[in-house]
Amino acid sequence: MTISGKHVIVTGGGSGVGAETAREFADAGAKVTIMGRGQKQLQAQGLSWQVCDVTDPGSVSSAFDAARAEHGDIAVVVANAGAALSVPFEKMSPDDLDKMLGVNLTGVFNVWQAALPDMKAAGWGRMIAIASTAGLKGYSYVSGYCAAKHGVVGLTRALSLELASSGITVNAICPGFIETPMLDRSIANISEKTGMTSEQAANSLWRNNPQKRFVQTDEVAGTAMWLCSDAARSVNGHALSISGGEI
Catalytic residue ranges: 145
Q: How far apart are CA 78 and CA 186, in angstroms?
A: 23
